[in-house]
Amino acid sequence: MVGKRGGVLELAVLGLLHESPMHGYELRKRLNTLLGMFRAFSYGTLYPCLKQLLAQGLITEDEDEQPTGALQSKRAKIVYKLTAEGKEHLQKLLTEAGPAAWEDEGFGVHFAFFAQTRADVRLRILEGRRSRLEERLEQVRTALTRTRERVDSYTLELQNHGLESVEREVRWLNELIGREHAKAADEVGRQRQDDRQDDNDNDAPQGTSPS
Amino acid sequence: MVGKRGGVLELAVLGLLHESPMHGYELRKRLNTLLGMFRAFSYGTLYPCLKQLLAQGLITEDEDEQPTGALQSKRAKIVYKLTAEGKEHLQKLLTEAGPAAWEDEGFGVHFAFFAQTRADVRLRILEGRRSRLEERLEQVRTALTRTRERVDSYTLELQNHGLESVEREVRWLNELIGREHAKAADEVGRQRQDDRQDDNDNDAPQGTSPS
DNA sequence: TTCGTCATGTAATGGGTTACATGATTAC
DNA sequence: GTAATCATGTAACCCATTACATGACGAA
Residue-wise DSSP of B155-202: HHHHHHHHHHHHHHHHHHHHHHHHHHHHHHHHHHHHHHH-------SS
pLDDT class of A193 with cuts at 50, 70, 90: confident
DSSP letter assigned to residue B76? P
Per-residue pLDDT, B59: 96
CA B98, CA B100: separation in Å to the nearest integer? 5
CA A155, CA B113: separation in Å to the nearest integer? 7
pLDDT tens, B1-45?
Answer: 555 666 899 999 999 999 999 999 999 999 999 998 888 999 999
Cβ pair A30, A22 in contact under 8 A:
yes
Give strand ranges (E) for chain B: 59-63, 78-82
CA A174, CA A185: separation in Å to the nearest integer? 17
Residues of B in contact with A176 (CB under 8 A): 157
**Nearest Cα residue to B150 out of A134, A93, A33, A163:** A33
Residues of A in contact with B139 (CB under 8 A): 36
**Model confidence at A68: pLDDT above 60:** no
Choose between A1 and A47: higher pLDDT: A47
> Does residue A114 belong to the interface with chain B, where contact is any CB pair within 8 Å?
yes
Per-residue pLDDT, B75: 58
Please give the backbone phi and psi of residue B73, each rounded to the nearest 5 degrees, phi first. Answer: -85, -5
> What integer best gives the mean pLDDT of chain B?
85
DSSP letter assigned to residue A115? G
Per-residue pLDDT, A156: 92
pLDDT tens, A37-52?
Answer: 888 999 999 999 999 9
Average pLDDT (A174-196) is 83
User: How many Cβ atoms sit within 10 Å of the Cβ of residue B56?
Assistant: 17
The residue of chain A with its CA nearest to that of B40 is A136
Length of chain A: 211
Q: Show pLDDT as tens, one digit a residue, over chain B (211 residues).
A: 555 666 899 999 999 999 999 999 999 999 999 998 888 999 999 999 999 999 999 999 988 665 444 444 455 689 999 999 999 999 999 999 999 999 999 999 999 999 999 999 999 999 999 999 999 998 888 888 887 677 899 999 999 999 999 999 999 999 999 999 998 888 777 777 766 555 554 444 444 443 3
Using CA atoms in the order B129, B133, B136, B138, what is the torsion angle rounded to 10 degrees?
Answer: -130
Per-residue pLDDT, A92: 94
For chain A, the first-to-last Cα distance in angstroms comes to: 43
Cβ neighbours of residue A65 closer than 8 Å, sequence gap 6 or more: A72, A76
CA A104, CA A102: separation in Å to the nearest integer? 6
Q: Closest approach of chain A CAs to the CA of B95, in angstroms?
A: 17
The C1' atom of C4 and the CA atom of B172 lie apart, in whole Å, by: 41
Q: Flag residues 13-72 of B with CB < 7 Å from strand C.
A: 23-26, 43-44, 47-48, 50-51
**Model confidence at A23: pLDDT above 60:** yes
Secondary structure (3-state) at B81: strand
CA A11, CA A41: separation in Å to the nearest integer? 13
Nucleotides of D under 7 A from a protein CB: 6-12, 14-20, 23-25
A48 dihedral zone (left: phi>0; alpha: psi -120 to 50; beta): alpha
Secondary structure (3-state) at A59: strand
> Does residue B165 belong to the interface with chain A, where contact is any CB pair within 8 Å?
yes
CA A49, CA A32: separation in Å to the nearest integer? 16
pLDDT tens, A115-164?
Answer: 999 999 999 999 999 999 999 998 888 888 877 677 899 999 999 999 99
Choose between A173 and A209: higher pLDDT: A173
Per-residue pLDDT, A139: 87
Per-residue pLDDT, B66: 55
Q: Flag residues 14-43 of A with CB < 7 Å from strand D.
A: 23-26, 43
Cβ pair B104, B7 in contact under 8 A:
no
B146 touches strand D (CB under 7 A): no
Helical H segments across A20-60, by residue range = 24-34, 43-55
Per-residue pLDDT, A52: 94
Between A and B, how many CB-CB pairs are < 8 A?
Answer: 84
**Nearest Cα residue to A50 out of A22, A75, A76:** A22
CATH architecture label of A4-64+77-112? Orthogonal Bundle (1.10)
Per-residue pLDDT, B1: 52
Per-residue pLDDT, A211: 34
Q: Flag residues 58-87 of B with CB < 7 Å from strand D.
A: 70, 74-75
